[in-house]
Structure 1
């Protein structure tokens, strides 16, 4: 079974939304409160008829309705016709018995749906309630019915449904609440069916043997020896346990420690791996919340590798705030929730391959930010932040939603390709390396179809990188150059500069000092100078293109 798409109507933040999915991996990313977890909850409801691990029928409440729909209802006459419908529909493949048109789109398709709507059997009771003049401040779900059906109009029963989906969330594990449900999942995923049956039988026999122990016999002899309670024989006995209730008497241990008492990271790792290995081979779909939670980088690396190796044909849905997770599992599997919903399945395959090999780069920042500035190194980042502070009442650019990202080893193109797919406004600050036309103007033409991508640099070949451009902007006079040098240079280097007898020699000295070649160690000196520039209270000048790269229309 595969879920091709999900249609959500009036559920939480989604008023009426269709989400298309990848057949293998779906990585849900977005800002906080974007709706990532809501999509997983909707999937759990429609696939398992559960909400946060409990039966949806018992958990159905007014709080699950979209707030706009609630407001519209409260402002209406509140007749039965005004009561909103909540529905979640999963459009599927490989379940032909579920084919039909019982869906909101009236589409001939395979799938299942959960619908919560006013029950017409309660029409008289509801109208009588309205007639009392009682104030209604929320959706009166007491008059609703909840149905779980396939698209062929058949009611779905958990024991006979033709697919299996597993939701993994360590936060649901509790010493009492949720433990039995988890043990049930372990038994179903970690054991073959015949192993589970043998375990159940042996456990029942062990309980029966408990009844024959001397201690139990003594207790039972004295329990009602004079028949004061009943004239029949009263005894205490171990529960013989119905079929399917094995989890009530078992617990999982890790190195002798009960599962619910081990760390959350280990809980998450064990749950995910059990689901992926799945001895009974009957799981079609796995949902998981932020697998990176509570894990060190090394443990996360191992887990993600295991997910890659063991996923098999299972369809995977996960939320994450980790660039490492999405890069390693394949960044083109992103399902991005922003102002709209977008998949990155058309992303350049070379970029995907690069990031799978080098997953440590923070690509998620490009996906989530609306305004991004790409720079070559940390010194560029610090200088831009200082300029932005000066121009914006001491605010940093991130305060206004501008994210400055140092691209380091993978280069600008990797991040630009992601921005092209998403539509992120990306400004690139790059060196002209002595040839503005070849290194800046010509590359800009390749992005003509993407006005959201803009390149910025000095046009003069003498200002081949950031530092020479800053020197040019602060060397109109010798006094101006001395002030800039005092800000950016160490005390020792500044003394060397001041020892130069002429203005031109001073300018040549500082220009040469900032000009680096591979392996000369000047990269660190540039960063040190940028830190001094960032921390100074003195004024300095900067070229116009540095202002322009910080300006988003």
Structure 2
């Protein structure tokens, strides 16, 4: 069984949205407050009729309604038809019994839905309520009911449903969110049914032995010795009635330390691994909030490798802010929540393979940015940032522009990502001695993607950033001396000053940059000096176009 898509209406951040999914892994990414957790919560409601681990009926409140739906209702005449409804539909495959056309698309397919609507039996009561209450500040959920049906118009019940979703979220260890039930769910997923039965029997026998303990019997004999409270025998006993689930009384322990008191990272790792292992075979869908939380890089590496190797046929949904998680679990499984819902399932398989092999690169920055500048190295990044400070009095990040150093994986891997997402991207690239071969070729390669622009100096002699900057600051001797004083150490600047003519000064700087003795370090050091300097330098015309995203 797997979920093809969900449709959500009037639930939290989502006023009206449809989200299609991959059959195996779905990596939900987005900026803070973009709705990643809302998607997981909507899935939990559709599949378990629960919200944050508790029965939806028990925690229903006006706060889970979309804010626009609330505002619209409060501005209305508050008639019956003005009351907002929450609808969450899960379109699924693998459960023929759930096939029907009872869905918003009138499509004959498999699925379930949860609807939060006005209870018809309470319509007269609501009408009376409206007459007597002119000032209403929230949705009157007391008049609502919850419907949970499959698409064949059969009511879905917890015991007879054909699927199960398990949520792994460390925040639910907190008592406020039903810690005992949460641990019970994890244990149920990680143990075969016969093992659960053995534990239950042993635990019940243990409680029975408590009742037979001599010291307990002695205390009970003194409890109401004079029969002042009751004429019948009053005792303190262990509850063996089975009214509450046996599992809810169990607790995990790690090296004899009970689960809530071990480290957060270890908690998170164990919960996810138990859910993925699923020895009871009763979980179809696993929902995970940010698996990277509280984990060191090495522990995260181990966990992601475990997920990859043990997931089997279970459908996995997870939210993340980690490029490593996204790259390692396959970037083509990405589901981006931004201005529009986008997937990366059409990305080049070669790029997917590269990033799985080299998952440490920060590709998520390019995914989450609305404006991206790709550069070859840190010196390019520093010079561009200083240009922006000189002209806009702030860092580009403060205005939503992310400058990313492509490093080892190169431009093409990043461009394969951004081209499918339509992200406005500038590529600042050296022409490496041939503008036609190294820049024009790139422009032709991405000519069908208007969001991507490639920028470089057109002069083949100015093959990289350093010669370009020397040329831009060589209008006269005073200009190049000011530039040299910024980028050079005092000792090197004194040697530079021995050159009296402009061509000699330019040649000195070129040779200094090209000197094999620490050439790379010189480039970065000079860029740092440019960034930190109290004086500004001159910039080539093509750099002035880099920040034009209109």
User: Which position in structure 1 is the counterpart of 2:482?
Assistant: 483
Give me the CA root mean square deviation.
1.4
Supply the distance in 1 between the matched residues of 2:128 and 2:177 (Cα, whole angstroms): 39
1:542 paired with 2:546, answer no
User: Which position in structure 2 is the counterpart of 1:447?
Assistant: 446
* CA deviations over 1:136-165 (Å, ceiling 9, x no partner): 222111111111111111111112211111
Supply the distance in 2 between the matched residues of 1:320 and 1:449 (Cα, whole angstroms): 31
Supply the distance in 1 between the matched residues of 2:175 and 2:133 (Cα, whole angstroms): 46
1:529 paired with 2:546, answer no
Supply the distance in 1 between the matched residues of 2:233 and 2:508 (Cα, whole angstroms): 105
CA contact (8 A) 1:516 1:523 kept: no
* CA deviations over 1:451-493 (Å, ceiling 9, x no partner): 1111111111111101101101111222221111010111121
User: Which position in structure 2 is the counterpart of 1:254?
Assistant: 254
1:495 paired with 2:459, answer no
Supply the distance in 2 between the matched residues of 1:526 and 1:505 (Cα, whole angstroms): 20
User: Which position in structure 2 is the counterpart of 1:381?
Assistant: 381
Q: Report how far residue 244 of structure 1 moved.
A: 6.0
User: Which position in structure 2 is the counterpart of 1:327?
Assistant: 327
* CA deviations over 1:239-260 (Å, ceiling 9, x no partner): 1141762134321111111101
User: Which position in structure 2 is the counterpart of 1:70?
Assistant: 70
User: Which position in structure 2 is the counterpart of 1:289?
Assistant: 289
User: Which position in structure 2 is the counterpart of 1:473?
Assistant: 472
CA contact (8 A) 1:179 1:260 kept: no
Supply the distance in 1 between the matched residues of 2:65 and 2:222 (Cα, whole angstroms): 57
User: Which position in structure 2 is the counterpart of 1:437?
Assistant: 436
Supply the distance in 1 between the matched residues of 2:463 and 2:85 (Cα, whole angstroms): 63
Question: Equivalent residue of 1:549, what SS?
Answer: coil
Q: Report how far residue 2 of structure 1 moved.
A: 0.3
**Cα distance change on mapping 1:94 and 1:169 into 2, 3 Å:** same
1:182 paired with 2:179, answer no
Supply the distance in 1 between the matched residues of 2:336 and 2:518 (Cα, whole angstroms): 40
User: Which position in structure 2 is the counterpart of 1:417?
Assistant: 416
Question: Equivalent residue of 2:233, what SS?
Answer: coil
Question: Equivalent residue of 1:230, what SS?
Answer: coil
User: Which position in structure 1 is the counterpart of 2:45?
Assistant: 45
Q: Report how far residue 182 of structure 1 moved.
A: 2.5
Supply the distance in 2 between the matched residues of 1:333 and 1:491 (Cα, whole angstroms): 53
TM-score (norm: length of structure 2):
0.98
Q: Report how far residue 43 of structure 1 moved.
A: 0.5
Supply the distance in 2 between the matched residues of 1:525 and 1:369 (Cα, whole angstroms): 31
* CA deviations over 1:86-136 (Å, ceiling 9, x no partner): 110100000111111221222111111100111111121111112224322
User: Which position in structure 2 is the counterpart of 1:149?
Assistant: 149
User: Which position in structure 2 is the counterpart of 1:428?
Assistant: 427
Supply the distance in 1 between the matched residues of 2:376 and 2:262 (Cα, whole angstroms): 43
User: Which position in structure 2 is the counterpart of 1:59?
Assistant: 59
Structure 2: gaps spanning 5 or more residues: none
Supply the distance in 1 between the matched residues of 2:241 and 2:359 (Cα, whole angstroms): 50
Q: Report how far residue 541 of structure 1 moved.
A: 1.0
User: Which position in structure 2 is the counterpart of 1:461?
Assistant: 460
Q: Report how far residue 53 of structure 1 moved.
A: 1.1
Supply the distance in 1 between the matched residues of 2:488 and 2:241 (Cα, whole angstroms): 79
**Mapping of 1:78-477 within 5 angstroms?**
78-174=78-174, 178-242=178-242, 245-392=245-392, 394-477=393-476
Q: Report how far residue 342 of structure 1 moved.
A: 0.6
CA contact (8 A) 1:204 1:241 kept: no
Supply the distance in 1 between the matched residues of 2:187 and 2:401 (Cα, whole angstroms): 49
Supply the distance in 2 between the matched residues of 1:446 and 1:427 (Cα, whole angstroms): 14
Q: Report how far residue 177 of structure 1 moved.
A: 5.2
Q: Report how far residue 229 of structure 1 moved.
A: 2.8
Q: Report how far residue 500 of structure 1 moved.
A: 2.7
CA contact (8 A) 1:93 1:110 kept: yes
